Amino acid sequence: MPKSSAPSVSSPSEPERPPAPVYVIGAGPAGLSAAAALAGHGIRAVVLEKSGEVGAAWRRHYDRLRLHTTRRWSSLPGLPIPRAAGRWVAREDFVRYLEGYARHHRLDLATGVEVARIDRAGDPAGGWELTANGGRRLRAAAVVVATGYNHTPRLPDWPGLDTYTGELLHAAAYRNPEPFAGRDVLVVGVGNTGAEIAADLGFGGAGRVRLAVRTPPHLVRRSTLGWPAQAGAILCRRLPVPLVDRLARPVERLLPDLTPYGLPRPATGLYSRARQGAIPVQDTGRTGLIRAVRRRLVEPVAAVVSFEGDKVALADGTEITPDAVIAATGYRRGLDALVGHLGVLDAQGRPLVHGRRTHPAAPGLYFTGYRNPLSGMLREIAREAPRIASALARRL
């Protein structure tokens, strides 16, 4: 009889570890779309979310919020937003869409897991190690960071702020005008959030609403004769900046001139400002900022320079004593503690690379959802997700 070969036996002292998954940090639109795209490539992806549910940041936004991008260009890969949500999707409908998106793609979601730090793994297999709450140490083949563009509310370092005795809250804590009925409110910041909150307060029964403006914004209609502003931004995104500035001027002049009301038209071109991070303010029409200003429901005033006791000093030398100050002063990305030690952030704490590219100092570490172009953040997220998945599939 031929001699049979003995079967190979693996060492019982060294059990083989299962392959490490790809961890996606954050269960907002960017994280969910990246995880769905990875699953489409057969890559095991686990979404880590520090809160108890998907879309946590969207659940905290003010009640009247509607997307400024159309339903078509706000959908994530693999599942359109239902037509019943309308062209301009409300906050609650978008949250429900994110919940349905996670179910539809059967995403592996781990809630209540907050990642504090990402480090290179020390083992020969490479990859990454995530330090999370509860003493967890998670080994990852690769990591997609999607913790959100609006992560950490930012307050300017105003002189005397610690002495202010009035009510002060960041726009992240604002929900609706009900608590401010009959009160004198100062909204600081005239981006889209500040403009919407000021108009909401003006139409919602606040006693007096002032809007502190440092630099006058570009105002555009969300839609003109059925043509959304987003569509124009998509068409112009590859054109030279000076040309887009010139093309935007007649569009802006379709709107009323608010100079007599204290809100002059900016001298700098629209696209030039956008390239510096100042996105135009989209007016929503019947309950938008323009109508609120023209009806004297919102009063533009000079920028805030300091606080003292119950007083707020403005750049034109006046002092006011509002009952409440709402700071629509933006957010930080909040990435320094997570990845700041890896050399992948710029001086403002923003990722140096996005999407399918990884930094040479951190191969296998991806960032998505940290850009806000004129063509729309959600559209950018939807375009980045399959590119990240393809790049990761090649790497793994």
User: Facing residues of 132 across strands?
Assistant: 115, 136
Residue 3 lies in a domain: no
- Cβ distance 16 to 370 under 8 Å? no
Q: From 330, 350, 370, give the residue that closes a domain.
A: 330
What does each of the 396 residues of the chain score in pLDDT, given as a tens digit? 444 343 333 444 445 556 789 999 999 999 999 999 999 999 999 999 999 999 999 999 999 999 999 999 999 999 999 999 999 999 999 999 999 999 999 999 999 999 999 999 977 667 999 999 999 999 999 999 999 998 899 999 999 999 999 999 999 999 999 999 999 999 999 999 999 999 999 999 999 999 999 999 999 999 888 889 899 888 888 889 899 888 888 888 888 999 999 999 988 888 888 887 788 999 988 899 999 999 999 999 999 999 999 999 999 999 999 999 999 999 999 999 999 999 999 999 999 999 999 999 999 999 999 998 888 999 999 999 999 999 999 988
Q: Are 223 and 254 in contact (CB under 8 A)?
A: no
Looking at the structure, tell me whether residues 250 and 304 fall in a common domain.
Answer: yes
Q: What is the CATH number of the domain that holds 167?
A: 3.50.50.60
Q: Are both 184 and 323 inside the same structural domain?
A: yes
Kindly state whether residues 158 and 146 are assigned to the same domain.
no
360: how many CB neighbours lie within 10 A of its CB?
A: 10
Q: Rounded to an integer, what distance in angstroms lies between the CA atom of residue 139 and that of residue 118?
A: 10
d(CA 230, CA 329): 24
Last residue of a domain, one of 330, 348, 363: 330
State how far the Cα of 382 lies from the Cα of 22, in Å rounded to an integer.
19
Note whether residue 261 is domain-resident: yes
Residue 84 lies in a domain: yes
Domain, as residue range, for 62: 22-151+333-395
365 in the same domain as 300: no
Tokens of 18: 């299962």
- Residues 79, 129, single domain; the answer is yes
- Asked if 384 and 274 sit in the same domain, the reply is no
158 and 302 belong to one structural domain: yes
> Looking at the 3D structure of the chain, how many domains does it have?
2
**Distance, CA of 160 to CA of 328 (rounded, Å):** 18
On the 0-12 / 13-18 / 19+ scale of CB atoms within 10 A, 372 is middle
pLDDT at 7: 38
pTM: 0.89
Residue listed under structure tokens 């960017």? 30
Query: Does 163 lie in the same domain as 30?
Result: no
Question: Could you tell me if residue 14 is inside a domain?
Answer: no
pLDDT at 3: 41
Does 7 fall in a domain? no
* CA separation for the pair 283, 191 (Å, rounded): 11
Residue 13 falls within a domain, yes or no?
A: no
Q: Report yes or no: 290 and 258 within 8 Å, Cβ to Cβ.
A: yes
Domain boundary (310, 330, 350) is at 330
Q: Both 286 and 382 in a single domain?
A: no
**Residue 216: inside a domain:** yes
Do 121 and 173 share a domain, yes or no?
A: no
Query: Per the domain annotation, does 17 fall within a domain?
Result: no
Residues 6+ apart with CB under 8 A from 255: 219, 220, 221, 283, 290
- Are 316 and 342 contained in the same domain? no
Claim to verify: residue 54 and residue 166 sit in the same structural domain: no
